[in-house]
Amino acid sequence: MTGLELAASAAALVNALLVTRRSLWNWPVGVLAVSLFFFLFLDARLYAAMALQLVFLALNLYGWWAWARAKGDAPDLPLARMTAGAKALTAAAVAALAAAIGLLLAGTTDANAPFWDAGNTALALAAQYWQAQRAVETWPLWLAVNIGSTALYATQCLWLTAATYAVLGGIAIWGWRDWSARA
């Protein structure tokens, strides 16, 4: 465990807790977390996870803007539900993106676990997008990401990061229950 891994994990946990509370502060904390994880994953040669942090940076900025705009003067952030079509499109996009990234990493890099890393990356992109849209269904996507990430990071001996993602899995269950009750 390094100081970088500790700081990234702490920021990620605070970020997730703030998301469950629908706090706009989750977005700047998220920017910090993804910036720290970028360097951690670079060192671990998990290139899809590393590149994902750059996309997360942009999506965190977008989410911050979208949530601030959606909230307006309302006391609580309004939540949404995905349509059946959006769910099907998301599943197809995740599968296609995971395959494409996995093939790219396997063929062009020395990546550890390229397809596993790619699958988590594709799922996480979908989860982050739907989080910015305030969709209740972001939480089961995050739960799947957290389960896969916990195992992946454990195989790379990133123990604190694996433990962080296990806790994030619990937070995803909490967020899913809370947002479902409010939507």
pLDDT average, residue stretch 18-41 = 94
> Under DSSP, is residue 88 helix (H, G, I), strand (E, B) or coil?
helix
Q: What is the CA radius of gyration of the chain?
A: 16
pTM of the model: 0.86
Q: What is the pLDDT, as a whole number, of residue 112? A: 87
Distance between CA 13 and CA 20 in Å, rounded?
11
> Under DSSP, is residue 81 helix (H, G, I), strand (E, B) or coil?
coil
Q: What is the pLDDT, as a whole number, of residue 73? A: 65
Is the distance from CB of 21 to CB of 176 less than 8 angstroms?
no
For the stretch 1-15, pLDDT in tens is 789 999 999 999 999
For the stretch 43-75, pLDDT in tens is 988 887 888 899 999 999 999 998 888 876 666
Q: What is the pLDDT, as a whole number, of residue 98? A: 96
pLDDT average, residue stretch 99-123 = 93
pLDDT average, residue stretch 97-103 = 95
Q: What is the pLDDT, as a whole number, of residue 152? A: 93
Q: What is the pLDDT, as a whole number, of residue 6? A: 94
Domain ranges within the chain, ordered by starting residue: 3-182
For the stretch 122-181, pLDDT in tens is 999 999 999 999 999 999 999 999 999 999 999 989 899 999 999 999 999 999 999 999
Tell whether the model's pLDDT for residue 183 goes beyond 90: no
- DSSP label at 95? H
User: Apex CA 31: angle with CA 73 and CA 54, to 5°?
Assistant: 125
